[in-house]
Structure 1
Amino acid sequence: MKTATCLALTIALVTGAAASADTSDKRIALSNNYAGNSWRQAMLESWEATAGQAVSDGVVAAADAFTTAENQATEQAAQIQNMILQGYDAIVLNAASPTALNGAVMEACDAGIVVVSFDGIVEEPCAWRIAVDFEQMGSDQIDYLAGRLPDGGDLLEIRGLAGVFVDDAISRGIHDGVAANPQFSVAGSVNGDWAQDVAQRAVAGILPSLPEIVGVATQGGDGYGAAQAFEAAGRDMPIIVLGNRQDELQWWAEQRDANGYETMSVSIAPGVSTLAFWVAQQVLDGAEVPKDLTVPFLRIDQADLDQALETTPEGGVANTEYDLEAAQQVISDASS
């Protein structure tokens, strides 16, 4: 997948060179609020591969990535203000909060800087937003569990980072799905911080107080940790919705081969950072780009497992990356 993506990127850059000539002196920065799990690492790797190639090919002058030490909106606001002082032409933003950064984002816009938010988007109207319907991602998990478990039962919810927009949105979708499927109830909820080790400890801590759990609704980066906790506790393995991480997919394949285990896996593709890069470049190039773009989440079902596992690097995340042509298609679709 990565080879094909890089090839497509090269072709797109060659064929789109004329359209990109006006941005050869432009500098783009990535402001990222958190890097403590495999999804964020894959997101940064996708950015470095795509944006780094664009710099090498003269499409833009710079595409620097910065990550805050802590997941704090105040720290990220200061980071954005530093980017303004450094004279970047565009800031691509994975935000710690949809509202707390609005002041810093407005400062950037007032300075003539293009701001494109993705994954963790901001509400400030001057910014562009690349969003996934995270609530749908949560409710789809319950719909899947309802199809597999028509009699329902008790569920465990594993949430992400507390206070982050994405965590709140997925959790709302999960609870909306439970409300629409009253045969289920959420027996417990823990924060896994989108990280396997944190999720494993949190699930291990709550399991002794829980009844039999038939399903686990997750947010990504937590499914394998949950499975390890259930196994260590000697509990029956529930249907755990996974989050497209390679270790989760590997565990799923092993369980499928050993005992026919079935589940599904869903997450936003970390390569959405490459779409955000190209959106920023296109805005700088004078393209008319709608302020709100929506991309689908990446779902893996039982029939897709082997192919997904084959194309996902060890320690990585199943991914889709965008070249210039693909980004222009997303923009065109949103404009029509």
Structure 2
Amino acid sequence: MTRISSLLTATAIGVVLLSGAALADTSGKKIALSNNYAGNSWRQAMLKSWDTVTKKAVADGVVAAADPFTTGENQATEQAAQIQNLILQGYDAIVINAASPTALNGAVKEACDAGIIVVSFDGVVNEPCAWRIAVDFKQMGAVQLDYLAEKIPAGGNLLEIRGLAGVFVDDEIHAGIEQGVAKHTQFKIAGSVHGDWTQEVAQKAVAGILPSLPEIAAVVTQGGDGYGAAEAFKAAGRPTPLIIMGNRQDELQWWKEQKDANGYETMSVSIAPGVSTLAFWVAQQILDGKEVPKDLVVPFLRIDQDTLEANLATTEKGGVANVEYSLEDAQKVIAGK
């Protein structure tokens, strides 16, 4: 090898090391987002985070494309057809927020068999060939009862507001709430409605069930429903119970107003919408040849009485308290740190 070629080789290696380039070149790879639903503020924030992070990744030459696709309704059949379309369009990886943990498995297996990387998040799939990124949603439900046991030790009747029926997230949070009620037996679920993670739907559903309910000590929720519940209680002329919030800006603003007016106390918990950006980087790392565990768990984002103002100040109007992930963050999650 000549001195010049040796220098060129050394320089090339140095560039690779300094740039943090991974095992394989992903600059020509295309990643798609298959999203089953966009009808609430959390989903809008999730899509916005995806757009912010992936546009920069494309501009920086990390990947060739990172295109988002959202189905019109939360229908597994429609999303399965969408995934089959993405296979035909030649994407190298598909990131999925799934309508069902099982109903998409056929389409997901088709993608895997075609050599496409599939990473599911939030609404995950249980097809073994796919990767999954989720918070411990069951714990997200159970922690609400632990909090209520501290704040209302005497217990009481609960109203449960669930999310979208048939979705993995709804089932898991509900199971956690049931687990919490079994642990803290002074509480009883007196009524349950589906709020679809949307304030307007939650408000209407709560208003419909309130006339049939006894006195409610607290409302356990899944996110996107706390403010709607508060408005329903107000309209019915009933005392406002302790309502668990879900990190939406309108919920946090309402909570602050009540806190300032009368010392109202609660907590707020949800998965950060920016988990979509973690899923993007995980897909990129798998395409890059990294060994990645099939199941990754990220912490949920909790807001308490003493952190309310700080979180509200950084949450845009109509948005959701959020965390967006970098490549370095993803590498830490992959490494289990």
Q: How does the TM-score come out when normalised to structure 1?
A: 0.94
Please say if 1:282 is aligned against 2:285: yes
User: Identity of aligned pairs, percent?
Assistant: 76
Structure label with greater radius of gyration: 2
Deviation at 1:251, TM superposition (A): 0.2
Match among 64, 68, 92 for residue 65 of structure 1: 68
Please say if 1:110 is aligned against 2:95: no
- Whether the 8 Å contact between 1:71 and 1:96 is mirrored in structure 2 is yes
- Whether the 8 Å contact between 2:23 and 2:289 is mirrored in structure 1 is no
Deviation at 1:298, TM superposition (A): 0.3
Supply the distance in 1 between the matched residues of 2:209 and 2:74 (Cα, whole angstroms).
25
Deviation at 1:17, TM superposition (A): 4.9
- Whether the 8 Å contact between 1:17 and 1:59 is mirrored in structure 2 is no
Please say if 1:297 is aligned against 2:323: no
Aligned match of 2:330 = 327
Aligned match of 1:40 = 43
Deviation at 1:15, TM superposition (A): 6.0
Match among 143, 147, 150 for residue 150 of structure 2: 147
Supply the distance in 2 between the matched residues of 1:261 and 1:232 (Cα, whole angstroms).
19
- Whether the 8 Å contact between 2:23 and 2:290 is mirrored in structure 1 is no
Please say if 1:250 is aligned against 2:253: yes
Q: For structure 2, which runs of at least 5 residues remain unmatched after alignment?
A: 1-16
Q: How do 1:212-223 residues align onto structure 2 when only pairs under 5 Å count?
A: 212-223=215-226
Code of the residue aligned with 1:268 in structure 2: it is I
| CA displacement 1:79-102 (0-9 Å, x = unmatched) | 000000000000000000001101
| CA displacement 1:161-185 (0-9 Å, x = unmatched) | 0111100110011011001111110
Aligned match of 2:159 = 156
Query: What is the total number of aligned residue pairs between the two structures?
Result: 321
Q: For structure 1, which runs of at least 5 residues remain unmatched after alignment?
A: 1-13
RMSD: 1.1
- Whether the 8 Å contact between 1:16 and 1:324 is mirrored in structure 2 is no
Code of the residue aligned with 2:61 in structure 1: it is G
Aligned match of 1:180 = 183
Aligned match of 2:124 = 121
- Whether the 8 Å contact between 1:118 and 1:131 is mirrored in structure 2 is yes
Question: 3-state SS of the aligned residue for 1:100?
Answer: coil
- Whether the 8 Å contact between 1:21 and 1:59 is mirrored in structure 2 is no
Match among 82, 99, 102 for residue 99 of structure 1: 102
Q: How does the TM-score come out when normalised to structure 2?
A: 0.94
Supply the distance in 2 between the matched residues of 1:235 and 1:312 (Cα, whole angstroms).
30
Match among 232, 236, 245 for residue 235 of structure 2: 232
| CA displacement 1:292-325 (0-9 Å, x = unmatched) | 1000000000000000000000100000110011
Code of the residue aligned with 1:152 in structure 2: it is G
